Structure 1
Amino acid sequence: MIEVRIDGPVATVTLDRPHRRNALTPAALDDLEATVESLDTPVIHLRGAGPAFCAGADLAAVADLDGDEAHEFARDGQRVAEIIENTESVVVAGIDGAARGGGVELALACDIRLATPEASFAETGVKLGLFGAWGGTHRLPAVVGMGNALDLALSGRTVDAEEALRMGLVSRIVDDPAEAVAAIAESDPAALTVVKERLRDDAPTDEQDRREAEAFADLIERADLAEYR
């Protein structure tokens, strides 16, 4: 289900279940968690095999869950999203084709979301009497604003790449996410880690400022700026 290819500073993690539009079972969530935790490359490219990014939870696996099992499955998905969000690596979602439900939630946990012109997005859970429970209820409004989040989650409608870009759901529309990921990975690995850490810091402003200055000083000490003297 999860395939990994390492190419220098980039680890490409592929959800490889195209016959099910890369929908995630409980076992697949466990595999994704272990994979992300095992990687120490500066950049991780998360993508889907075939014509979809990720259809979210595999409904065939979810349909027979009882209440306790469903609670555990939701918590598993939340944990995986948190691991993606908090890993030191910069995680880039390369979204080519459909992202639905939990697939949107995994993308929301990534640092950067790149969509191809063929990408589309929907929080379809409401149409099934469900909703996205892998952290989407707090990440979606944080990324696109409460108005857009309510519209997407309550309507279940599908938006294309252009509309996703306008509402801030994706960072850019690109023809080839792998090329854009490679360009990001050309930057200094330590700087990538520090910038992600600083931007995601939710400490009080004074503490953020102190940490920012310390991190900048640490990078200055290791940076090679001789050509600018």
Structure 2
Amino acid sequence: MIRVSDADAVRVVTLDRPDAANAVTPEGLGALADAVADAPVPVVLIRGAGDAFCAGADLSVVAEVAADGDPTPFVEAGQRALSRIADADAAVVAGVDGAARGGGVELALACDVRVATPDATFGEPGVTFGLFGAWGGTHRLPDTVGMADAMDLSLSGRVVDAGEARRMGLVSRVVDEPRAVADELAANDPSALRLLKERLRDDAPVDAQEAAEAEAFAALVAEHADALAEHRKG
């Protein structure tokens, strides 16, 4: 269900189950996480095949989990996979074109940059059939959009379009082609990308963050000492 291609400093990872709106199983999420975590390039673009980004968890798997009676392994597998995507060295772009629902929204939230095409829509419909997204969405969504919009989306189950998603900060841009955003990131220095991501995601106490920030900045200065010297001469 995953297709991977590498070109021009960008790895494109495509969810490839268009007949199922790219719904994912925990195993499929694991394969996706492997493709992101093992990327040999500085930027990864995640996108969906066909007319959807990702419909979320495969409901046939959810039904099997319900029959088994213990949903904990299912939840933990999804949480681990999305945490690996969030913690990957590469800068990860979610290119949402078409529907993102439930676990598909959670997948996008685990990415560093989320962009949407004008055809993108977002929804957390779990509440409408007695569930909710449990792959990290209950903390990532309010962290991203704020508590008011997170409560509204989650408790209503309503669907929002790309414009409203941009207004609430669920995506940072509405673009015609998400690959262009990935290419824009990939044009930058890979070491700076990696360290910036690490610093921006750091949730340590402020003193520790600032010490790590200074250390990371010093490392970049040392790495680019020759170029900086040439710039000073110029």
Q: Which runs of 4+ in 1 moved over 4 A?
A: none
Q: CA deviation at 1:228?
A: 4.5
What amino acid is the match of 1:83? R
Is 1:105 the counterpart of 2:110? The answer is no
Unaligned runs of 5+ in 1: none
> d(CA) in 1 for partners of 2:109 and 2:220?
29
> d(CA) in 1 for partners of 2:10 and 2:191?
14
Q: Which residue of 1 aligns with 2:53?
A: 53
TM-score of the superposed pair, with normalisation by structure 2: 0.95
CA contact (8 A) 2:122 2:161 kept: yes
Is 1:186 the counterpart of 2:187? The answer is yes
Q: CA deviation at 1:8?
A: 2.7
Q: Which residue of 2 aligns with 1:136?
A: 137
Unaligned runs of 5+ in 2: none
CA contact (8 A) 2:14 2:46 kept: yes
Q: Say what the alpha-carbon RMSD is for the aligned residues.
A: 1.0
1:167-178 alignment, distance < 5 Å: 167-178=168-179
> d(CA) in 2 for partners of 1:67 and 1:111?
34
Is 1:220 the counterpart of 2:221? The answer is yes
SS in 1 for 2:176: coil
Is 1:208 the counterpart of 2:209? The answer is yes
> d(CA) in 1 for partners of 2:232 and 2:17?
49
| CA deviation string 1:138-170 (max 9, x = no partner) | 000000011110100000000000000000000
Q: 213-222 vs 116-125, which deviates more?
A: 213-222
CA contact (8 A) 2:24 2:57 kept: yes
2:69 aligned to 67, 70, 76, which one?
67
Number of aligned positions between the proteins: 228
What amino acid is the match of 2:36? V
Q: CA deviation at 1:73?
A: 1.1
CA contact (8 A) 2:37 2:89 kept: no
| CA deviation string 1:20-70 (max 9, x = no partner) | 0000023312222322232231001011011100000011221122232x2
Q: CA deviation at 1:93?
A: 0.2
